[in-house]
Structure 1
Amino acid sequence: MTSPTPDTITVNGDRLWRSLMDLAEIGAYDDDRTGLRGVNRLALTDADAAGRRRVIGWMEEAGLTVRIDRMGNIYGRREGTDPTAAPVLTGSHIDSVATAGAFDGCLGVLGGIEVVRTLKERGISTRHPIEVGVFTEEEGVRFGTDMLGSAVAAGRLTLAYAHGLTDRDGLTLGGELVRTGFAGPARVRLDRPHAYVECHIEQGPVLAENDVPVGVVTGVQSISWQEITINGRAAHAGTTPTHLRADAALAAAQIVVHVRSMVDSGAYGDLRATVGHLTVHPDLTNIVPARAEMTVDLRNPDDAHMARAEQDLAAFLSDLESGRPGLTLTSRRMARTAHVPFDEEVQKVIAQAADDHGLSHMSLLSGAGHDAQEIAALCPTAMIFVRGEYDGISHNPREYSTPEACTYGVNVLATTLLRLAGQV
């Protein structure tokens, strides 16, 4: 690694790491499977609310003016010298899955705050304002729709739709915003930012496999989430002949096998398919299941291949229902986003910043969804990926990125934001 050029900016990596570790204590739990400390901070739970309050405190200490919109999205603003200039936006999310690590989303939020701290300490002004955003329910695991806060902010989803979503206990997102104190007064639709840059752990093995510290993200692949409910008929496991059963669990198993066969066929390009949630009822050893509930997650970098995969799955579900008397299947689309390419000019700024910090980099497509794909509808957008360890595992307590890797990524973020915002 070579020495940075004079016009780059570097952050306090030790302080950034302390912020990451401090936030990770909010919602922390001891994971029996890994023996590690994990994070459970589902959106708009008490733990998420406590994390939000901690982040707001850090924003205010850094001199940011904080506003909260009607989706609970949080923005901290550092004014620029030109009151008419649109802001350069950065950020991510701090909500987590139930078995998370310390870095997913949090690095982008806390990295943005660390950039502002550094600018303040060095007395650096920018022409454009800089804003750090914290978006609500990016993960989608509680209310069933991912990138929710940013999707409403960008106008793809309506506020009424989002407020009406319910969790598995029947609690609405709108009600939980009120309960936790994050039903803010600000208008939810964002005015067009000047640009958006999000720093995120890769959540995959590509950077580590290539021994590269920084990824310049070219876009996000298409994502489709479906919830499938299979209604069959409960029956005694010993007395009911097989040919008289309407076994909901068997149908669910056939769906699992089918989506894997779709992937293995190669007919849908680089398709990835996952059944991440599957439950049966009444969930008793000696009763044929009467109902099964499951989700199917499809991902594809090509929109046409994705559309064909969705059509194939729909046809299979229809055939499965018609071929097994006593079974009924219903499906509900939970989320659907198209492939989103990122802005080439912002990618160039990121790559140049990495070069100027003496950091090798590579271009890659994101396999995971991010708030950046929603904000890309409003303004030039791109992402910075930071290398993870342990094959890039994420959504797991083993999720880990070293202090050095996090600092490298946020140094690139800092220089990128400074150049996009126009140092004065």
Structure 2
Amino acid sequence: MNNNELLVSGERLWQSLMEMGKIGATEKGGCNRLALTQLDKQARDLFCQWCEAVGCTISVDKMGNIFARREGLDNSLGAVCTGSHLDTQPTGGKFDGVFGVLSGVEVLRTLHDLNIQTRAPIEVSVWTNEEGSRFQPAMQGSGVYVGRFNLEEEWAKTDVDGHTVKQALEDIGYLGDQEIGSRHIQAFFEAHIEQGPILEDEDKQIGVVRLGQGIRWYNVTVTGRESHAGSTPMHLRADALASAANIIAYIEDIAQAHKPNGLATTGFMQVYPNSRNTIPGTVTFSVDLRNPDAEVLASMDQMFNEYCEQIATQRQVNVEVDHFWYFAPVTFSASDNVKVAAQKLGYSHMDIFAGAGHDACYMADIVPSGMVFTPCKDGISHNEIEFTTPEQCEAGCNVLLHAMLEVAEVVE
């Protein structure tokens, strides 16, 4: 068979996506499958079952990351790996993360069905807690794997009910014994829905991901003074919520000042005492700043911190900024293989950057990595109505297959 004629089964891939989507299915057609819950266990078990059915061996490391391995002709070579995650947001869709994992399964099935031998081994990974919804931070499993996070510290992280990551791993039977970072990998690829509207707007089938978005996350606490809403003159107030509102409005100005790729968001807020006729005394909220250029992101960070100091002085409140997570912009050096594959298969494509964090962003720390994006309807993700078509999934998976084979080498 000519390598250019080697294609995956789009129908089988779609059936797998729909079957996996039944685990934690929601009424609106999405999924609620939080990390390290019993539903996550069911999804992991199904993944392992599918991979073992095509002759793969399964390994699990101490962070619960799963690796399904298909041996190569020369197993001294590093594996060519692909993967993503199976956990979802509380109101997530069927495709975010899952498409990347099941595209890997489809690659394994295609190679198995056609009895194709590769020189290097092929591995498909499931990374623990990519979403960061039940446990924080996001991309926890891949972050531990590459050394960004300490295993013992991440084991001790708790959810809102006080359950630790380590206990949750034990509860679902995925506290593995393989040492962190011990696998021999030479390249990593991840297929993913774009989670944005650019490919759909540009009418392109494939996004060749060149850069990963840099991210700075902050927890901000503004402390003023509670007092009566009806008897405290405006000039004698220390209104924490009004001060916070100024900061939140200003982060939009920061993003606008750093076009075209500057982004700024507040998505979480707590107000104390949260009473209608009491001036708020304490407000805690999140700030998310993003840019794919490290220098630009540093400029955004400086503007934000300077403005927080300014508001504290002007309004006589205390503004505490906890800069608790920084994710540096990423360059995907293996995306050249993605572009070659898209060209070879005749798919329309464009260079693009990843607006969200992905496991491949961390894997790029240690091995050449690349990403394949497929369009999603209206750019909507982290939403139950998230959707991509069977044809778009098939195209992305075909590109993934050929990008991996460029590195793994088919043995004739």
What TM-score comes out, normalization by structure 2 length? 0.94
Q: Is the 8 A contact 1:86 1:129 kept in 2?
A: yes
Q: Is the 8 A contact 1:62 1:113 kept in 2?
A: no
The one-letter amino acid of 1:39's match is C
Distance (Å, rounded) in 2 between the aligned partners of 1:328 and 1:143: 29
User: 1:338 matched to which residue of 2?
Assistant: 328
Distance (Å, rounded) in 2 between the aligned partners of 1:188 and 1:198: 20
Q: Is the 8 A contact 1:104 1:201 kept in 2?
A: yes
Distance (Å, rounded) in 2 between the aligned partners of 1:182 and 1:173: 11
Distance (Å, rounded) in 1 between the aligned partners of 2:48 and 2:21: 15
The one-letter amino acid of 2:246's match is Q
Name the CA shift for 1:65/1:192 in 2 (closer, same or farther; >3 Å): closer
| Residue 26, structure 1, aligned to residue 23, structure 2 | yes
Cα shift readout 1:133-178 (whole Å, capped 9, x = no counterpart): 1111212233232222111111122112322323334433223222
TM-fit CA distance, 1:6: 4.5
Q: Is the 8 A contact 1:193 1:378 kept in 2?
A: no
Cα shift readout 1:10-36 (whole Å, capped 9, x = no counterpart): 111111111111212222222xxxxx3
What does 1:378-389 align with in structure 2 at a 5 Å threshold?
378-389=366-377
User: 2:291 matched to which residue of 1?
Assistant: 300
- 1:276 aligned counterpart, secondary structure: coil
Distance (Å, rounded) in 1 between the aligned partners of 2:318 and 2:44: 43
Q: Is the 8 A contact 2:211 2:292 kept in 1?
A: no
Q: Is the 8 A contact 1:93 1:136 kept in 2?
A: yes
Cα shift readout 1:353-400 (whole Å, capped 9, x = no counterpart): 22222211111111111111111111111111111112x111112211
Name the CA shift for 1:168/1:389 in 2 (closer, same or farther; >3 Å): same
TM-fit CA distance, 1:192: 4.7
Q: Is the 8 A contact 2:209 2:332 kept in 1?
A: yes
Distance (Å, rounded) in 2 between the aligned partners of 1:292 and 1:181: 40
Name the CA shift for 1:414/1:172 in 2 (closer, same or farther; >3 Å): same
Name the CA shift for 1:6/1:45 in 2 (closer, same or farther; >3 Å): closer
What does 1:127-166 align with in structure 2 at a 5 Å threshold?
127-166=119-158
| Residue 413, structure 1, aligned to residue 400, structure 2 | yes
| Residue 272, structure 1, aligned to residue 260, structure 2 | no
TM-fit CA distance, 1:202: 0.8
| Residue 288, structure 1, aligned to residue 279, structure 2 | yes
Q: Is the 8 A contact 1:146 1:335 kept in 2?
A: no
Supply the RMSD in Å over aligned alpha carbons. 1.9
Q: Is the 8 A contact 2:194 2:374 kept in 1?
A: yes
Q: Is the 8 A contact 1:214 1:387 kept in 2?
A: yes
Distance (Å, rounded) in 1 between the aligned partners of 2:5 and 2:141: 32
Cα shift readout 1:313-332 (whole Å, capped 9, x = no counterpart): 1222223233333x333232
Q: Is the 8 A contact 2:36 2:168 kept in 1?
A: yes
TM-fit CA distance, 1:8: 4.1
Identity of matched residues, %: 41
TM-fit CA distance, 1:252: 1.9
- 1:123 aligned counterpart, secondary structure: coil
Of 245-254 and 404-413, the range deviating more from structure 2? 245-254
1:81 aligned residue (73, 86, 92): 73
- 1:197 aligned counterpart, secondary structure: strand
Q: Is the 8 A contact 2:189 2:369 kept in 1?
A: yes
The one-letter amino acid of 1:236's match is H
Distance (Å, rounded) in 2 between the aligned partners of 1:370 and 1:140: 11
Distance (Å, rounded) in 2 between the aligned partners of 1:236 and 1:176: 45
Name the CA shift for 1:304/1:56 in 2 (closer, same or farther; >3 Å): same
| Residue 202, structure 1, aligned to residue 194, structure 2 | yes
| Residue 359, structure 1, aligned to residue 347, structure 2 | yes
| Residue 16, structure 1, aligned to residue 25, structure 2 | no
TM-fit CA distance, 1:248: 2.3
Q: Is the 8 A contact 2:4 2:345 kept in 1?
A: no
Distance (Å, rounded) in 1 between the aligned partners of 2:321 and 2:157: 17
Distance (Å, rounded) in 1 between the aligned partners of 2:197 and 2:240: 36
User: 1:33 matched to which residue of 2?
Assistant: none
Name the CA shift for 1:27/1:251 in 2 (closer, same or farther; >3 Å): farther
Distance (Å, rounded) in 2 between the aligned partners of 1:264 and 1:191: 43
Cα shift readout 1:51-94 (whole Å, capped 9, x = no counterpart): 22222222222322111111111111111111211100100111
TM-fit CA distance, 1:206: 1.4
1:113 aligned residue (105, 111, 114): 105
Of 215-224 and 170-179, the range deviating more from structure 2? 170-179
Distance (Å, rounded) in 2 between the aligned partners of 1:45 and 1:233: 41
Distance (Å, rounded) in 2 between the aligned partners of 1:77 and 1:342: 23
Name the CA shift for 1:235/1:60 in 2 (closer, same or farther; >3 Å): farther
Number of residue pairs the alignment of both structures matches: 411
Of 401-410 and 11-20, the range deviating more from structure 2? 11-20
TM-fit CA distance, 1:414: 1.2
Distance (Å, rounded) in 2 between the aligned partners of 1:182 and 1:248: 44
What does 1:42-57 align with in structure 2 at a 5 Å threshold?
42-57=34-49
Distance (Å, rounded) in 2 between the aligned partners of 1:275 and 1:210: 28
Name the CA shift for 1:25/1:252 in 2 (closer, same or farther; >3 Å): farther
The one-letter amino acid of 2:346's match is G
Of 83-92 and 304-313, the range deviating more from structure 2? 304-313
What does 1:243-282 align with in structure 2 at a 5 Å threshold?
243-266=235-258, 270-282=261-273
- 1:166 aligned counterpart, secondary structure: coil
Unaligned stretches of 5+ residues in structure 1:
31-35
Distance (Å, rounded) in 2 between the aligned partners of 1:400 and 1:384: 17
Distance (Å, rounded) in 2 between the aligned partners of 1:232 and 1:170: 30
Q: Is the 8 A contact 1:151 1:157 kept in 2?
A: yes
